[in-house]
Every structure is written in structure tokens, then in C-alpha cells.
Structure 1
């Protein structure tokens, strides 16, 4: 490993001085296939509980052996190293088994959100030339429609109840899939007698996971994450929490996992962190606030709980939450996916919940910049860059560096082991975002005197109103702080006088009523005149991706279609 001069490194990366005590300035990342993470933990802690799912449990050794068998099952279906295999499942044991089995035999996981439409799934299948798809019985009609449009050589169906104690096991015949030539997950797994681990030769640059973007800027693109990317992400998350979470005895480590594993944020920060840290994954297939609170009631000790702002907002505003002493139960609560409003952060801190915020994207394994766990946290900041990560701020128009001056807004560009190899089968988009190894994120931000980074907005979401730059995220946060508001999202709309003005889409808390003028008056008290929304529309929900990112494009498209009529 290259020897670094610490003083020189601190000069080049001044944010390093903000790190927690046990976080290395330069992290050592092993060069092996990502599946070795599971193998290593299963050898170290074979009898530790790996998964809890509605009372069903398995140990790390049992999980490892099941993964080996299913990896051989996949190979027996004539799926080879490098072939793409889609996982269209919520959080469940079958997802965990399928994910690590695909990595073990050298395949490439294609993450697929169960909420996607047939059109969206068709795009993913066509783009990746998928060799197999693993999904569950509630989506059979959707997959029927999909396979009328595209050829998927192998379709594997499971049933959630197959891993819930007391429920009858399903079979291909009972699910009505035998006549379609599809496979039942449990039947083909049980038929496999090979328990040894396949041993493909895997290089760090080999594709590991294809994570389609949430479509915030157009058609979803498949970010190709290599084994080196995924292993770096897993190890950097482990290092980042080492000063606090690394001190917890292994037998206590547990993690309520409700972030969707269909996105790399959930896969790395929840599933993979649990595996490298030998923590029990307490799996929940969807976010339902009552079920989440019921699960917190069942377990006294939760090491790590990751979520997005809408999840935390639902939890802290639930009447039961204040009686549960969540600050005692949760060692660390981590937030990502979207900026966490300051008022929500204050509420979490008032409940004594140890909270940490950060920012990443599909193209960087959902990791890049994060608040220190034990060190300095600044409200509104996403923290400082991770070890091995280099960040610059550049003028979006000229490309010139602006990070030399505190509080100067620029686009975040980043380089390091987390940056994707490119977009799968899409060289044009790859060339737009990857230049000389630097990823141009589209996020506008500034840094303060301590090099803590503050996200301002997405460059494509910025609104120019009467010559002034308006960042919708700022206005979202002001509206969110209104006591009657549960969620809010602003977009730019055409304005004959200003060029553009803001329209706010607002979701009220249950039982609340409100008039548009009340929201506008609230903003008038807290914002400059050119930032105040001109229109307010109340809705039951606003569009967000599975990991909480604002999908403003959907609102803009709807608004433009409405105005064109």
C-alpha cells in the first residue's frame, strides 16, 4: 500500500480532520469478489442469527450453505458467469438468498423495484438482456404481461409465506406456473444436492450489480456497479460506523431492515452492513408505520436503523412513538435518499435518537458524503466525504473549481472506488456524466469553513424566477416545517412576468385541513418574495422513488400536460 504523508493528505483533503477517531484517512479495501463478505462472516460467526422474518430465523452458516446450493441451482439453469439476473422482490429471505447466490456464481444482479410498471420492467429487461428473473406470486399477472413482450429464458417464482412459520408451502402446481414453464424457488432449491461453493474467477472490475436510476432526469439508466464498487461500499460503511457501532458486542448486533433491498442503498447500508458486521437482519417487506413500531416493540436492542425522511417523519409523528423510548432502543439512526428537513432532525434529537445524515446516489453505491457519527454535525449539512473519496465543487457553466472559497455554490464532482463503471449499454449517457474518471453528479452544493457540505438542489431542478435562482429543496423544507404538513414538493411553472415561478404540492398530516393561502402566508414570513410559491395544490402523496428521492419530473410532466389542454 502506498505510504502517505499525513500533512500533505490533510492539505489535499481538509475534511479528513472531521473524521471520527476510528475512521481511517485512507481505508484498506480487499480485492475479492463481493460474495466473500458473506463467506467470511459465516466462518467467523456460524451460529449467530443472520435473519429474522416474522419468526423465521436462520444462522449465518445456514444462510451460507443455502446460498451455495442456490448458486449451483442457478448454474444448473444454464445461467453463466456474467449473465444478468433480475430480482423483483421486496425485503424477504428469498431476496437475501438470491442476491448472494448470484454474486457467488458470478452473475450480475439487476435490481428491480416491485412497484415498477410493465413498461418500466420491459425497458430494464431489454437493456440488460436478462437471462432470468426472480419474483413472487403477487406479481404473476404483471410477469405474464411482461413475458408477452420480451423473452426471459428463466422465470423463478416464490411466495412470501413460504418463509413464514405456520403457513403452507407453495409449489409450482399450486401457484399455476407449471404450465408456463416457470420454476418455483423452493422446489428447485430443494432439488439441488450440490452444497459446495462455486469458485468463479472474479476481478474487481467485473460487473456486480446494475442499479437503475430513479428516473429523476428522464428514462432510467442502469448504473453498472463493479465488485470493487460494492466491496468498497460495504467496507467504507463498516469503517464509517466503527467508532460507535463497532464497539457493540456481536451478540447484540441487530438491524431493522425496511429500506428496499431493490435499491443499492438498502442492499449496502442495511443488508450488506448486517452481514459484514454479523448483525441480525430483521426483515420487513414494506414500510408500514404500525408494523415498524410493532417490530420495535418486539426487540429491545437495535444497532442501526436506516430510513428516508418520509419514514422518519411518519414514525416521530405517530402517537405511539413518544411512549417507546426509541432513543434507548436505537444505537444509530441513519438517513439518506433526500435532504432531511431541519425541523425533523430537531424532533429526532428531542426524542434522544442518535441521528446521522448523508448523501449518495445510485452511481456511487449510495455512498459519498456523510456526517460523522460522533463528531461535529451541522444542521442542514450532509457531512464530509468518505475515506478514499475525492470531491470537488465546480461551476456548472465554466467547469472551473469553486471549492477554494467557502459558501460558493458549485456542482459536486467526485472520484474514487465508489464511482460506477458507467451506464449499462448506454455509452452516450456515460460520456455525459463520467469525464476523466470524475462523476458529475448534478447536485449543487457549497462547503463551509470546515469543509462540511451543504446540498442546495439538483442543477436540473433549479428555477429562475425574475432573474433570481430559486432552489426548490429550500422551499420544500420551509413548507415541511408547517405544523399541518406531512410532505411537500415544489416545481417551477411558466410565468409570463417572472419567466418561472414556484408551485407547491403539499401533503397534509392525517386529520388536518388547510387553505393554499395559509401555506403561502407561512412562506411569506420565512422566504424572500421571489421564492414564495405562486400556487399551492393539496394531494394525498407526492412522487418519490423507493428510497425517498423527489421525482419532480413527474410533477412537471403532469403540470405541462394540464396546461397544454
Structure 2
């Protein structure tokens, strides 16, 4: 088990844990060891509850730790019978978080390798990911469970040559050739014993996750048994997860937030994980009923990405007793200070930020769950791992001083061995095992890590690096702003200038002029003051709920074009804008302007020509 060796409150407690031999405090060598130990020590205690809807009466399953181990054994036996073994075949999962998923996902890793796919991706991308690792088995949902997943599975035999079988969860009717109903697949498979001897070690790859795709095309991340065991251990130690915890897991299982942060980490510590719906926190009714679920299960830990935390703040019933909740966990993006403050004021629950990546099984830094969280910090490193901050663009490796921002790097047992395609490791993993995260941050004097933004998200205005968080923090303090995001908008002179997108609190109208005055007053660096402020109903997010900045950058391009049209063309001219890519993946912006003269169109094309994108300008008349 991974329950705490000692309560962690400061970095000295982490150092004290590290004085003990690693194999004495981390005893598991593979995931089967991990779940077997928990079943031995906490067998009759509740382990897993999966709800089919926010109605607590619709529990799809409730298993204790002994029963969960039995289901893992049965799943592993089924996959081994289907030819899954170390170095042979792999199982792809394309399904929402149905009750059967947890045991199937772990069972596949006990037998061999599992790949968790985002079921919201299109069929071609799913096929591409399956082909990348030669998937031989696919687990998906019957049409009665999820029509979207079922329809995407159709045709995959043609698109994925290695695919041999499709296992269908919830199948209730005859299936096409090559498909197997899950109930038939597990028939005759033992829940008492494994039908094979596990030989996996901590270094054996057992899981593949594709990156979240917030910055571009997904990559396949390889995770080993040891990566995940150490991540669970790190969460257990610093968050203080133990057998008394009941944790609401609002993340999807194609993301390490769902499988690790509030998933395997809770189960390995002997705690109880509650999944609020098959679609995590995406359905609006889950957010509406969230605090009822928290009360019903007497949850001790609640969780969500910052966008979810903002939504949950608006649904807290007045007078609700939440004293049984010891912490709220958030990660996946920097938590805006105003969002955190509003949540704590509405709920009385302290927020504990965490920081991780798919490439580290979600575990890099954590605010101490038994200590005092620091607003704006993601906390201390995991035991037996290292975090350093290095200066950027110096040519030589130079460490930053405390409070000096730089590029965050991580090394430790939770760091992945590399991408499935080794060519993608360049610039990410060095020969000494240091992982370059791409995040900008600094270490405090007491070794807490503070993140300030993404290297790729920096807005570079005439050579001046602008951290979007410095703009967003000011905007989020303005009355009526629920959440905001700043991105680069192309500019002919400065290269890039800040554009700010703001989402109003429900029922609120934001006064743009007053907000602009607020930004001019409180953003102290003149280059960081937004050139444009746009109110939108919601921020674009990934399936996990992370803000999807590429979509915002596209909106910033649209805003730039609209500003130029307004400045060049006569009143009444309207631009229709489409953003695409050419064969070299360069942005191509097609702009059709209705109500513009040929001279205005020519002037607009000349005005946009210096920008880095390609602009194609047409009018509403054939000869324009």
C-alpha cells in the first residue's frame, strides 16, 4: 500500500522519507503486487463506486478492495487468453468511464499493455493512434451504452490491420464477426487466481497514454509499472491519501488525472474512489448535483481542473455543511488566484494544487494535504525525485536562484522512459534522465514550486516575453469575470500583442470599457496590456477541461482580421473568416469581405501581408 509513511508538511518531511531504503517504503514491483497488497490489508473496505448518472441510486457498481482485485484477475485472464502478453499485442480502450472500465484497464496492464484513447477524437485519429502501437484488441461500448463510441468502432478492422478482436461492454444482441460481448469474453475466467505468472518488473511498459493535445497533435506516452507505482506513492505521501479517504474522481480515464491523481493513488492507499458519471464532470447536471454527491458519500476530497472548480463554485448550496471535506484538489493548468479565492470563500474548503504531466504519470509536485497549501504554488516535489529550474536561452546549463523564473525540469522514478516514437524524445529527455516540462516557474526558499506559464504560451512582443498569467490574474479580479485567458494576437509591428478573452459570471454583463481601464491600471508592464478584449460565453477546453489555447489563438487571429476590416473598409463591411492549414502545416486564413470595394480589399491584403500567416482575401463579387 502507499498510505503515508509520515505526515508531510514541509520539505524536511519529504527528506525524512528519503532516508529510508526505497524498497522498504515502495514494496510493489508491478501493478498486480500493488492491488494485491491493498486487498490483503483493506479487503472489505469500499474501493470503487461508479455512477451511471448524478442520481446516487444509479450506482453501476460498488466494489470493495477484495472484489476489485478479483475483477482485475478475471480481466487479466481474459486478455491473456486473447493473446495479450509482455511484448505481444496491446489493448486499446475507447469507452466512457463505465463501471467495468477500472478493472479492465488494470487487468490489461497486468496481462500486457493497455492504451487509453480519448473517445471524443475522430475515427481517423483513433485509428492512427491504434496503428502507432499495433493494437490487437479494442474495448468499446455497445450502442445502448454509448452510440458515439460504437459508431467510431465500426470500420476499425479495415483501418487497423493488426486489430483482431473488439470487446463490447454492455452488448445485449448478436454482434458482427470479430466482436465479443464482454460477458462472453470473461466467462470461465477465474476471479480467484491468475492463470499465468506475472513477470513484469517496475521497468516494464504497461500503459500508453496520448498527450492531451493542448499544443498540437497527440504523442503516445509510454508508462511503466514503476512509473505508476511511484506516482501513486508520491500522491499518497504528500497529499496524505489513506484508508479514511473518499475521493470524487471527476476526470476521464483516458487522462492520467483520472487514472492516477484521484484514481490509482486513492485505491493504492486503501481509499474509496467515486466516479460521478461515465462522462466525468462534462454533463451540466453533474455540476448541478455535485455537492449532493459530495454530501451523500461523505467525501473527504473533491477535485477538478480550474475550469471545473470555477463551475462548481456557482452551484454550492447555501448553508451546506461541507466540514467532512478536508481538501479540494486541482491541476492540469495554473489555478487563477481569483478562481481559487472564490471557491474557498463559497465552500470553506482549502484548495491544494498539484502539478504533473502525462509523461510523469501526473506526479511532479503537490501541496501537502496534511499541511498548509500555498495559493499560487503547486507544492513540493515527490519523495525520491528531483525538480530543478534552469535558465532559458543561455547556451550553458545554468540553475536559477530561488524565486528566479526559468524552465522546469524533473527527474525521478515516475518519469516515463520515452515516447513510443523515439524521435519525439529529442529536446524532452536528456541522457541523465531529466525531463524538460516546457513549463516556466520558480522554486521558493522552502522549495515549493510556483508555475507562471508555458514556454509555448509566452507572448513575445517586440522581443519582450509576456507571461499570460500576469494578464489573466488581473482580469480575474475584475467584478463579473468568471475566468479569462490571454493569448498572442499577430501584429505587423510588434510580432505579437496580447489579446484577452473573458467569460462573465452567469447573469452578469461585463463593461468592456471599465475592464479596459482596470487592465491599464493594474497591469504594470505596458507591453502586457491587452490590445483587444473579447467577451465569450465559455473558454474552449479539451476533453479533460484544460483551456485549449490553440483555439483561442485562432479566435485572436479572427479578432485581428475584424479590427483591420473595421479600420480599412466602410461601415457595414462584414468579414467571414476560415482558418486552415496548407500541406506544410502553415496557417492559411481565408477572408471573404461583404460590402467592401476592390480598393479596400487590396488595402486589406496589403495590411495583412506582413503577418506570419498566409491571408487570402476575396470579396462578395466575382471580380474582387
Q: State the TM-score, normalizing by the size of structure 1.
A: 0.87
In structure 1, distance between residues paired with 2:232 and 2:137 = 26
Among candidates 308, 311, 329, match of residue 311 of structure 1: 308
Question: Which residue is 2:406 aligned to?
Answer: 410
Give runs of aligned pairs for residues 21-100 of structure 1, distance below 5 A: 24=18, 28-53=25-50, 54-55=58-59, 56-82=61-87, 83-100=89-106
Q: CA deviation at 1:459?
A: 0.8
Runs of at least 4 residues off by over 6 Å: none
Structure 1 residue runs without a partner (length 5+) = 1-14, 160-169
* Larger displacement relative to structure 2 (538-547 or 62-71): 538-547
- In 2, are the aligned partners of 1:491 and 1:504 still within 8 Å (CA)? yes
Given that 2:356 and 2:365 are in contact with CA atoms closer than 8 Å, whether structure 1 keeps it comes out as yes
Query: In structure 1, what is the Cα distance between the partners aligned to 2:34 and 2:395?
Result: 39
In structure 2, runs of 5+ residues without a counterpart are 1-8, 51-57, 558-578, 580-588, 592-614, 617-624
> What's 2:336 paired with?
341
Alignment of 1:123-202 (within 5 A): 123-137=128-142, 138=146, 139-151=149-161, 152-159=163-170, 170-173=171-174, 178-192=175-189, 195-197=192-194, 198-202=196-200
SS in structure 2 at match of 1:494: strand
The alignment covers a number of residue pairs equal to 526
Larger radius of gyration: 2
Q: Helix, strand or coil: the match of 2:176?
A: helix
Among candidates 215, 236, 245, match of residue 217 of structure 1: 215
What is the CA–CA distance in structure 1 between the aligned matches of 2:544 and 2:365, rounded to whole Å?
A: 17
With normalisation by structure 2, the TM-score equals 0.79
CA distance in 1, matches of 2:365, 2:223: 18
The residue number in structure 1 matching 2:418 is 422
2:46·2:62 contact (CA, 8 Å) conserved in 1?
yes
- The separation in 2 between residues aligned to 1:530 and 1:212, in whole angstroms, is 36
CA distance in 2, matches of 1:188, 1:134: 11
Are the structure 2 counterparts of residues 332 and 73 from structure 1 closer, same or farther at C-alpha, using a change threshold of 3 Å? Answer: same
Which residue number in structure 1 is paired with residue 126 of structure 2?
A: 121
1:281 paired residue number = 273
CA RMSD of aligned residues (A): 2.4
Q: CA deviation at 1:483?
A: 3.1
Preserved CA contact (<8 Å) 1:134 1:156: yes
Q: What is the CA distance between 1:194 and its match in structure 2?
A: 6.8
Q: Give SS of 1:44's match.
A: helix
Number of the residue aligned with 1:260:
252
If asked which structure has higher relative contact order (CA below 8 Å, sep 6+), I would say: 1
Q: What is the aligned partner in structure 2 of residue 104 from structure 1?
A: 110
Is the 8 Å Cα contact of residues 231 and 260 (structure 2) preserved in structure 1? yes
Structure 1 residue 346, shift from structure 2 partner: 2.1
Q: Which moved more, 1:58-67 or 1:141-150?
A: 141-150
Q: Residues of 1 paired with 2:31 and 2:330: CA distance?
A: 24
User: 1:192 Cα deviation (Å)?
Assistant: 3.2
